[in-house]
Amino acid sequence: MSAALTLLDESGPSAASIRGIAAKVGVAPNAVYTYFPDKAAVVKGVVERLLGEVDHTASGDDAGSWRDRVAALAVELRRALLAHPGAVPLMIGGPMDGPHALALNERLLELLADAGLDPADAARAAYLLIVYAFGSIAMEVADQHGVAPMPPEQDRIAARLDAFAAIPATHLPRTAAAATVMAGYVSEAQYVWGLHRVLDGISTA
Amino acid sequence: MSAALTLLDESGPSAASIRGIAAKVGVAPNAVYTYFPDKAAVVKGVVERLLGEVDHTASGDDAGSWRDRVAALAVELRRALLAHPGAVPLMIGGPMDGPHALALNERLLELLADAGLDPADAARAAYLLIVYAFGSIAMEVADQHGVAPMPPEQDRIAARLDAFAAIPATHLPRTAAAATVMAGYVSEAQYVWGLHRVLDGISTA
DNA sequence: ACCTGAACACCGTTCAAGT
DNA sequence: ACCTGAACACCGTTCAAGT
């Protein structure tokens, strides 16, 4: 059942309608209410399903430093979420308190405890990392959804350059220059760079 | 006209419907299409209106360090957005490329240039700060919208404690402990703490 | 230019009824 | 328990028509 849900947001961008799901499963719209009390519950199910796709073993059990392991987990999270970009906007819509969300948080807290942070600092640092990861991924999806079905990265860079060419360089000189700079970066590189700045900040806490 | 838009999302949480707006203005639903081509344009207008509410002078012209000025701007941004919590989910829905969004970005780049960052680092750092601020505010709104119309902070802390009391402490010991820790923090304090960790990270770049 | 009434193809959700 | 048909109160959007 919930398998059909993810199949749906693969096809449509924000076509996560109850009626659409029912049609895809080949059933009447109201039959969905046998399994879910309302649409919010369906969305929650999709979010949990997606978070379950995150491979926690990506942060190896004894691999490198705690920083590398946190970074690997964050990159794996991004990979899992960007596999279904249409579902990403649904995550920030409501609180993430399902089992898979909590398991991810637990894993993160373990890694931060290994880093030597006391529980209070680890709690705040974990929240910071989660805010950064989900915020970054959500903005990435928001900035690109408009061009049709997922053009390759190099084409999107060109599109970004075109879009920012309209920025009035005389009135907003720094923004125009920054746009040129950012257009040269691959999204994942920016994500990883920001992640390491956050990790730097946490290390000083 | 756009004044009526913000008035609307003050009243309703996500009642930003075209028909609802039209009713509030006392006009037929389709009359809205005289001013906006479609709903996306209306949303864009609301977002821009809200970003225009940010007081750029909050980061004083010659006050303290560049860090204090960036922090003041970020806190002012949070204040402006949380004044209309219902509109926050609309911001991450689409790209923010309006005049006020660009002006905010320009101001941020100025402050980072004052900090001595070269244009390339300033561009990436500005994006990181924007991701953090909007991501943090969006998650803050997402975590609390469910309890009716904005209970005071101290009540929400109690609610958070109740919500996390259900966390299985045996299976997720660190998450349970972290939840207790986080419940003791005021949202703005966590926001400012994370902001300074990000600023620490930027300083090391 | 600005507004209306009426209609189109959608929503989420409920209710009574069937197996 | 699981599904259906029919209906309710909504959406965003279009179109022809009025001033």
Shortest CA to C1' contact from B40: nucleotide:
D12
Q: Does B92 reach chain A within 8 Å, measured CB to CB? A: yes
Is the CB of B143 inside 8 Å of chain A's CB atoms?
A: yes
The helix-helix angle for A173-183 and B99-114 (nearest 10°) equals 90
Q: Is the Cβ pair B97, A122 closer than 8 Å?
A: no
CA-based nearest distance A158→chain B, Å: 17
Q: Which chain A residues touch B137 with a CB distance below 8 Å?
A: none
List, for residues B83-139, the tens digit of each pLDDT value: 999 899 999 989 999 999 999 999 999 999 999 999 999 999 999 999 999 999 999
Rg (CA), chain A: 19
CB pairs under 8 A between A and B: 165
The answer, yes or no, to whether residue A163 has pLDDT greater than 70, is: no
Quick check: A193 pLDDT over 70? Answer: yes
Q: Which residue is nearest to nucleotide D15 (CA to C1')?
A: B30
User: How close, in Å, is residue B143 to chain A by CA atoms?
Assistant: 5
Residue B161: partners with Cβ closer than 8 Å, 6 or more residues away: B179, B180, B183
Chain B residues touching residue A137 (CB < 8 angstroms)? none
Q: How many beta carbons lie within 10 A of that of residue A40, not counting itself? A: 12
Chain B: residue whose CA lies nearest to A170: B106
Give the Cα separation of A127 and A198 in Å (integer). 12
Q: Average of pLDDT values for A168-174?
A: 85
- Chain center to CA of B114: 25
What per-residue confidence (pLDDT) applies to B110?
Answer: 96
**CA separation for the pair A36, A40 (Å, rounded):** 9
The per-residue pLDDT for range B142-201, each reduced to its tens digit, is: 988 755 444 555 665 666 656 666 667 788 999 999 999 998 989 999 999 999 999 999
Nearest to A174 among B110, B130, B174 (CB): B110
Cβ-Cβ contacts under 8 Å, B172 against chain A: 102-103, 105-106
Assess whether pLDDT exceeds 90 at residue A112: yes
CA atoms of B179 and B172, how far apart (whole Å): 11
Of A122, A146, A200, the CB nearest to B201: A200
If you count them, how many residues does chain A have?
A: 205
How many residues appear in chain B?
205
Nucleotides of D under 7 A from a protein CB: 1-7, 10-16
pLDDT in tens, B75-87: 999 999 999 998 9
Q: Which of B190, B161, B196, B154 is nearest to B176 (CA)?
A: B161
Assign residue B198 a region (left: φ > 0; alpha: ψ between -120 and 50; beta: otherwise): alpha
Q: Do A73 and A56 meet the contact criterion of CB atoms below 8 Å apart?
A: yes
What is the pTM (predicted TM-score) of this model? 0.92
Distance CA B164, CA A96 (A): 12
- Nearest nucleotide relative to A16: CA against C1': C11
Footprint of strand C on the protein (CB under 7 A): A 15-20, 29-30, 33, 38-40; B 27-31, 34-35
pLDDT at B55: 96
Q: How far is CA B125 from the centre of its chain?
A: 18
Residue of A128, A187, A195 to mutate for B, most B C-beta atoms under 10 A: A128
For residue A125, pLDDT beyond 90 = yes
Instruction: Tell me which residue in B109, B134, B190 faces A124 most closely, judged by beta carbons.
Output: B190
Whether A90 and A47 have beta carbons less than 8 Å apart is answered as yes
Q: Quick check: B48 and B36 in contact, CB under 8 A?
A: no
The full set of domains in chain A, from first to last, is 55-203 (1.10.357.10)
pLDDT at B12: 64
> Three-state SS string across chain B, please?
CHHHHHHHHHHCCCCCCHHHHHHHHCCCHHHHHHCCCCHHHHHHHHHHHHHCCCCHHHCCCCCCCHHHHHHHHHHHHHHHHHCCHHHHHHHCCCCCCCHHHHHHHHHHHHHHHHCCCCHHHHHHHHHHHHHHHHHHHHHHHHHHECECCCCCHHHHHHHHHHHHCCCCCCCCHHHHHHHHHHHCCCHHHHHHHHHHHHHHHHHCC
B35 CA, D17 C1': Å apart = 19
Give chain C positions with protein CB within 7 A.
Answer: 1-7, 10-16
Q: Which residues of A touch B135 (CB under 8 A)?
A: 92, 131-132, 134-136, 138-139
User: Per-residue pLDDT tens for B39-55?
Assistant: 999 999 999 999 999 99
Would you give the DSSP letter of residue A110?
A: H
Residues of A in contact with B146 (CB under 8 A): 94-95
Give A145's strand partners. Answer: A147
**A36-64: per-residue pLDDT in tens?**
999 999 999 999 999 999 999 988 766 68
